[in-house]
Amino acid sequence: MDRFLGSKRSHGILLIEGEELNHLFAKRLKAGQELEVFVEGKLYLCTLEKLSRSYASCLIKREIENPTPLPMINLYQCVPVELKNMDLIVEKVSEVGAFKLTPVISDRSFQSKGVIEKKLERWKRIALASFKQCRRPKPLDIDQPIHLKDIRADAQLNLFLDSFEKERSIKDLNLNGIKTINLVVGPEGGFTSQESEFLKSLGFLPIRLYPYILRSETASILGVGLLMNLSILSLPTYQE
Ligand code: SAM
């Protein structure tokens, strides 16, 4: 079923306007058809009631409350020097199932908090577009940027991707019953040795992806995708 972003809700009616209305026209939906509408953080099953040039009104049938797939992965993504690479990271880690993305400023990110904050709205828009396309239960949450020194090992499993790691790969992890994972990925130039030691001192385990050295964005997408898929056998797959 097609999914759209609503602009406002009034009682049992949701409105679709602006650019999103064009998407609705492009899909050739007709009055009386069912559609999903996301508004104010909630997803609804609706019937298209009225379609005009300036808005579409949709009658709410019920709220759709799909459970969140487990584990909930918070990707701490060190911001790349090539900031536009974050667009791809946001779209793809949303598709492969990350729960949240926190942009991280590390020594080799060479970006200021102000510059990153200006991009947050863009990344949230990309996350919303991906939410429509891949039919996640909720959009990827994009958090405020933080400095690497402020990362906390507060998940059940705390990992960082490190191409210098010799011992441990994802298949060595015990993912049994793990519901929350923090995953830190370095920027193009990698972590400094002090940053790696700092993450280890917090309790983050270094993980190597085989067999080659990947671009940061490939590492993030593969890391999240593998963790989600290898966890499937060891968990009831959804958070009720
Ligand atoms: N030689 C660089 C270094 O100093 O690590 C490579 C950096 S790599 C291009 C960017 C980031 O992607 C790394 O910091 C790491 O987080 C992740 N990464 C890339 N390939 C990886 C691999 N094979 N195993 C684990 N992490 C990897």
Give the pLDDT score at 235: 53
Long-range contacts of 108-111 (CB under 8 A, 24+ apart): 108/78, 108/81, 108/186, 108/187, 108/188, 108/189, 108/190, 108/191, 108/192, 109/78, 109/79, 109/80, 109/81, 109/187, 110/81, 111/79, 111/81, 111/83
Give residue 39 CA to ligand 1 midpoint distance, Å. Answer: 38
Whether residue 240 is predicted with pLDDT greater than 70 in this model: the reply is: no
What is the residue extent of each domain of the chain?
3-64, 68-238
pLDDT in tens, 50-106: 999 999 999 999 999 988 999 999 999 999 888 999 999 999 999 999 999 999 999
Residue 190 Cβ inside 6 Å of ligand 1? The answer reads yes
Residue 107 Cβ inside 6 Å of ligand 1? The answer reads no
Give residue 116 CA to ligand 1 midpoint distance, Å. Answer: 22
Give residue 237 CA to ligand 1 midpoint distance, Å. Answer: 29
Give the pLDDT score at 66: 86
Same fold, 3-64 and 68-238: no
pLDDT in tens, 109-166: 888 999 999 999 999 999 999 999 999 999 999 999 999 999 999 999 999 999 999 9
Residue 185 Cβ inside 6 Å of ligand 1? The answer reads yes
Q: What is the CATH number of domain 3-64?
A: 2.40.240.20
pLDDT in tens, 203-236: 999 999 999 999 999 999 999 999 999 997 655 5
* Among the four given CATH numbers 3.40.50.300, 3.90.580.10, 3.40.1280.10, 3.40.50.720, the one describing domain 68-238: 3.40.1280.10
Give the pLDDT score at 171: 92
Residue 3 Cβ inside 6 Å of ligand 1? The answer reads no
